[in-house]
Amino acid sequence: MPYFSHGDERKKLMLLFFLNEVDFELTRNEFFRIFAEQGLMEYFDFQALLSELEEDAHVAAIPMAFGQGYRISQKGAETLSLFRENLPHSLRKKLEILADENRALIKENSQFSASHTRLPDGGYLAVFKLMDKQKNMLGLSLELPTAALAKAACDAWPNKAQGIYQMLLFELLHEQNEPVD
């Protein structure tokens, strides 16, 4: 029979477990909203414990189109693998279900659109947008030679938009020593 953790250790394991299960960057607000709606954690505990996990490199802060997101780090995953049994099975199951239910909702909050049209010279113009609740975060247009390439690029956009946005931020701002969040 495993020894169940209590207090802050339990709460930190819950945060790591959830991030591992959702496998998607969460903003602090999204993350806290999910935990608060379920009565899993108080605001000040959540803020302090997430900051501690970040300071200890158990979670990574990732620049996102609509703020800073959090993801479990390699160190956090290793720690979780060692101590996951310290969370009761019923709590792990509840967190797994929460991750499944909220994954789609979180992705809905960031919208991706892509379309392509034929140009008079015979090429195709693909137009990509990354939006956060109707606020345009990124607009990109590419001229492509064939309809097949334009369609393939548009189809790939929803899965690639966040990474492209992060890469652009890094490339544009890394020499300025500015944080990219």
| pLDDT digits (tens), the chain, 181 positions | 456 778 899 999 999 999 999 887 788 888 898 999 899 999 999 999 999 999 999 999 887 655 677 889 999 999 999 999 999 999 999 999 999 888 776 665 557 778 888 899 889 999 888 876 556 778 899 999 999 999 999 888 878 888 888 888 888 887 665 555 5
Is residue 27 helix, strand or coil? strand
Torsion angles phi and psi, residue 173, rounded to 5: -115, -10
Measure CA of the first residue to CA of the last residue in the chain; give whole Å: 43
| Residue 113: per-residue pLDDT | 77
Q: By 3-state DSSP, what share of the chain in percent is helix, strand and coil, each rounded to 5?
A: 55, 25, 20
Q: Which of 97, 165, 98 is nearest to 132 (CA)?
A: 165
| Residue 114: per-residue pLDDT | 82
Torsion angles phi and psi, residue 47, rounded to 5: -60, -45
The dihedral formed by the CA atoms of 169, 128, 61 and 75, expressed in degrees to the nearest 10: -110
Give the count of beta carbons closer than 10 Å to the beta carbon of residue 107.
Answer: 13
Give the count of beta carbons closer than 10 Å to the beta carbon of residue 148.
Answer: 10
| Residue 1: per-residue pLDDT | 44
For 74, the token pair is 């390699």
Report pTM.
Answer: 0.62
